[in-house]
């Protein structure tokens, strides 16, 4: 019986008060219902219970948005003239709404057969009660003024009164929507089980991911075989408020946020590379320094580890190494600016020196569906140094016009301030020439003048540059040996034939006309791994003057592996790019990473290769920093094997091929797991010009980064199946002297 609701027939009730375990008890029948959760039987981490959190009464169950749901098997097949659902919900995020389907809160329906009912949430916090009636499908929506708000509790109720011919929705004790139906109507339950948190008839993605699922907290789910009155619903809501001093029950940030802890023991998830708490990320972007802290944002799907419904995630750091998770900075909203996605962009400073975000606003109802937009922090109002809140400018800054690049491809603004002007590059393509970045200039950040293409690639001569570019970055390099001021221009190609890597040119900037003139037409690679160093963003560090570039390290896994892991992708280590004396680009990991060094495991000098492996035979680890300097005798190929099992059944070989002048990673024995895609040899050109190989390597579970002589990097992934694939072995195809070998155990940046 419901407190404050009279003697209405309570036919099902889930208090969600368990606080632990993998079942919830339906209190009317006493039935124990299974809670499905990806880590109940984990594949890559330690198995654990679903996540329980404080609720409005006792506890509540946390739903991760893609794997958590409750199944009430053989649920009572309703056939009644009156029916009510009541629940407390706190959404963490909103789904995109694929196929027009609701993210289910409670349902037992088959929409195609027009049977049963569903109470659920849709895009941007809208919500609905839907049901089959007289061979058709009926939808009752809450008015736009009554959305379900993220990160706070809402009391919702749906009342089907077939006798009177009304269906009503209530939010926090107030009527939020209604619809008339034929008097004498009956609600017939669907043929399947009753589900909480998962749609009976969900949309699917990649044949693995179930969409139409709820993300957030659910508590106090009640079903009645009667129609609750408005007074009874208001009384129920008021009674809960009275327990909490007359206000909505508070939710601590840590109770509603995605929880990193279930992934901390994942055998493949990096521990000193930054990543979201859980779920999906692609490129990190918009690095900016403000009031002693670095902010970095990233493309993020808070619903699950798959690409969809992109938001801007947010990290903050005071040292570029240790990062804290902050709430989502920008999300799609019910507006005419960016209802369908907050895609990549950059950060700059306004006329007062406050950070400003520039982003690609996704609006599928507009043509083109990509526009450039702006968001300002609320720092002047609230003084929050973490810059948690951002307010979007209501109108797009720039809408692409015909003749302005390749129409329909217009994204990823990169903005910098120079004196009293702001400059912007927006990536696009051209009609038959190749990819490009389009240039704009402004005196106030709001009104922008188009200056034409900044630089156009030669797609015919260099087909790997593709027809469209993304993610432009322009960084100052200072003067070269001849005293000429140089800039570094980076892009990422996409489209037919494109090699999705980070390419760059060194050249000169014509600031007046906003044009770039490269020193040579052929682009160069920063990293010679294959699709593991992508999605560039960059900044000039105001503290040190360094050019720092951030990237995404693609995971290279199947959808099935990402589903079972609960995460997809992470950022690469921040790298310092600079102009060397010889005119080439220098590539080095930032020196702040040394703060993560733990025990020094090896410090060996001038030892032949035959002896070195005896000295390091006892060193193992999947979180290591390695610095090895080599002097070839007869060897032309030389390097080190990492993540090696004792018999070499699994191993990843990192080496320099002096004969071919190539930096390589041999992953032919990296993993014996059929679920992992890593394999083959990756690499690219590296001319050392007489220098001995000097390899600086970071191993972080599945992440491997190798920096060679400060000239090139090679980023790759390794997912060994064997738990003993932790060893090291120096390798060469001939005689070799190890000039020095230093190895450190590395510490996690997560607690």
Q: By percentage, how much of the chain surpasses pLDDT 90?
A: 96
In this structure, is residue 674 part of a structural domain? yes
**The pLDDT value given to residue 1:** 33
DSSP string, 568-593: E-EEPPPEEEEE-TTSSEEEEE-GGG
Does residue 544 have a pLDDT over 70? yes
* pLDDT confidence tier of residue 75, bands split at 50, 70 and 90: low
Which residue has 């109802």 as its token pair? 365
In this structure, is residue 50 part of a structural domain? yes
- Region 444-472 average pLDDT: 97
In this structure, is residue 316 part of a structural domain? no
Domain span holding position 62 = 10-253
Q: By percentage, how much of the chain surpasses pLDDT 70?
A: 99
How many secondary structure helices (H) and strands (E) does the chain include? 5, 54
d(CA 296, CA 574): 11
Which residue among 253, 273, 302 closes a domain? 253
In this structure, is residue 161 part of a structural domain? yes
Does residue 189 have a pLDDT over 90? no
**The pLDDT value given to residue 432:** 85
> What DSSP state is assigned to residue 463?
G
Beta strand pairing call for 597-608 and 570-571: unpaired
* pLDDT confidence tier of residue 751, bands split at 50, 70 and 90: confident
* pLDDT confidence tier of residue 8, bands split at 50, 70 and 90: confident
Average pLDDT of the chain, as a whole number: 96
Among the listed ranges 5-14, 355-364, 499-508, 651-660, which one has the minimum average pLDDT value?
Answer: 5-14
How many folded domains does the chain comprise?
2
In this structure, is residue 249 part of a structural domain? yes
In this structure, is residue 585 part of a structural domain? no
- pLDDT tens for each residue of 97-145: 999 999 999 999 999 999 999 999 999 999 999 999 999 999 999 999 9
In this structure, is residue 2 part of a structural domain? no
d(CA 20, CA 50): 8
In this structure, is residue 140 part of a structural domain? yes
- Region 56-83 average pLDDT: 91
Which residue among 224, 253, 282 closes a domain? 253
Does residue 223 have a pLDDT over 80? yes
Supply the CATH number for residue 689's domain.
2.60.120.560
- pLDDT tens for each residue of 481-494: 999 999 999 999 99
d(CA 211, CA 99): 10
**The pLDDT value given to residue 76:** 64
**The pLDDT value given to residue 190:** 80
Distances (CA, A) of 732 to 388, 627, 646: 51, 16, 18
- pLDDT tens for each residue of 192-205: 899 999 999 999 99
**The pLDDT value given to residue 345:** 98
**Which residues 6+ apart lie within 8 Å of 482 measured at CB?**
none
Which residue among 218, 253, 288 closes a domain? 253
DSSP string, 181-234: --TT--EE--SS-EEESB-SS--EETTTEE-SB-EEEEEEEEEESS---HHHHH
List the structure tokens of 649: 């059944």
> Which residue, 607, 684, 672, is CA-closest to 643?
672
d(CA 710, CA 579): 11
């Amino acid at each position: 019986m419901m407190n404050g609701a009279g003697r209405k027939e309570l036919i099902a009730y889930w208090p969600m008060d368990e606080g632990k375990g993998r079942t919830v008890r339906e209190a009317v029948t006493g039935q124990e219902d299974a809670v499905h959760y990806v880590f109940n039987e984990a594949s890559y981490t330690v198995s654990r219970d679903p996540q329980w959190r404080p609720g409005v009464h006792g506890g509540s169950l946390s739903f991760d948005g893609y794997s958590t749901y409750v199944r009430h098997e053989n649920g009572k097949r309703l056939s009644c003239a009156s029916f009510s659902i009541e629940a407390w919900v706190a959404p963490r995020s909103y789904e995109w709404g694929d196929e027009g389907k609701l993210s289910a809160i409670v349902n037992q329906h088959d929409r195609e057969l027009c049977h049963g009912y569903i109470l659920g949430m849709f895009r941007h916090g809208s919500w609905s009660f839907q049901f089959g009636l007289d061979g058709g499908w009926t939808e009752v929506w809450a008015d736009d003024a009554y959305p379900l708000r993220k990160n706070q509790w809402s009391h919702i109720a749906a009342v089907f009164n077939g006798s009177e011919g009304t269906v009503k929705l209530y939010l926090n004790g107030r009527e939020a929507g209604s619809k008339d139906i034929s008097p004498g109507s009956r609600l017939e339950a669907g043929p399947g089980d009753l589900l909480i948190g998962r749609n009976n008839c969900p949309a699917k993605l990649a044949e693995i991911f179930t969409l139409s699922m709820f993300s957030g907290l659910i508590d106090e789910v009640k079903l009645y075989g009667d129609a609750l009155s408005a007074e009874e619903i208001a009384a129920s809501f008021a009674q809960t408020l009275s327990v909490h001093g007359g206000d909505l029950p508070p939710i601590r940030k840590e109770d509603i946020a995605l929880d990193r802890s279930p992934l901390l023991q994942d055998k493949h998830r990096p521990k000193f590379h930054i990543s979201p708490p859980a779920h999906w990320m692609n490129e990190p972007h918009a690095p900016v320094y403000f009031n002693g802290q670095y902010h970095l944002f990233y493309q993020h799907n808070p619903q699950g580890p798959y690409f969809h419904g992109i938001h801007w995630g947010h990290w903050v750091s005071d040292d570029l190494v240790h990062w804290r998770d902050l709430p989502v900075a920008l999300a799609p909203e019910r507006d005419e600016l960016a209802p369908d996605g907050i895609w990549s962009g950059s950060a700059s400073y306004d006329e007062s020196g406050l950070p400003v975000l520039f982003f690609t606003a996704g609006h599928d109802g507009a043509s083109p569906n990509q526009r450039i937009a702006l968001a300002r922090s609320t720092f002047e109002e609230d003084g929050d140094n973490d810059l948690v809140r951002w307010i979007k400018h209501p109108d797009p800054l720039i809408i692409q016009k015909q003749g302005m690049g390749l129409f329909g491809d217009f994204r990823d603004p990169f903005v910098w301030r120079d004196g009293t002007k702001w400059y912007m590059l927006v990536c696009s393509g051209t009609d038959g020439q190749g990819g490009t970045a389009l240039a704009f200039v402004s005196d106030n950040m709001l009104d922008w003048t188009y200056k034409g293409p900044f630089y156009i690639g030669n797609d015919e001569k260099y087909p790997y540059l593709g027809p469209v570019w993304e993610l432009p970055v322009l960084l100052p390099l200072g003067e070269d040996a001849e005293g000429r001021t140089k800039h570094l221009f980076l892009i990422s190609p996409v489209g037919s034939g494109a090699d999705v890597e980070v390419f760059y040119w060194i050249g000169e900037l014509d600031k007046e006309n906003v044009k770039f003139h490269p020193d040579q037409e052929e682009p160069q690679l920063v990293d010679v791994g294959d699709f593991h160093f992508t999605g560039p963003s960059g900044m000039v560090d105001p503290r040190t003057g360094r050019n720092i570039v951030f990237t995404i390290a693609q995971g290279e896994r199947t959808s099935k592996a990402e589903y079972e892991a609960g995460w997809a992708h992470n950022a690469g280590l921040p790298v310092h790019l600079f102009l060397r004396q010889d005119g080439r680009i220098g590539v080095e990991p930032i020196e702040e990473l040394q703060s993560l060094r733990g025990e020094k495991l090896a410090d060996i000098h001038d030892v032949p290769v035959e002896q070195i492996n005896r000295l390091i035979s006892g060193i193992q680890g999947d979180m290591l920093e390695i610095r090895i300097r080599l002097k070839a005798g007869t060897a032309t190929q030389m390097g080190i094997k990492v993540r090696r099992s004792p018999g070499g059944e699994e191993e990843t070989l990192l080496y320099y091929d002096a004969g071919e002048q190539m930096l390589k990673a041999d992953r032919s024995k990296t993993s014996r797991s059929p679920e992992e895609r890593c394999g083959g040899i990756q690499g690219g050109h590296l001319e050392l010009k007489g220098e001995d190989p000097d390899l600086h390597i970071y191993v972080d579970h599945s992440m491997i980064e190798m920096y060679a002589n400060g000239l090139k990097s090679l980023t790759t992934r390794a997912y060994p199946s064997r738990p003993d694939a932790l060893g090291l072995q120096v390798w060469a195809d001939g005689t070799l002297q190890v000039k020095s070998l230093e190895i450190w155990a590395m510490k996690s940046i997560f607690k």
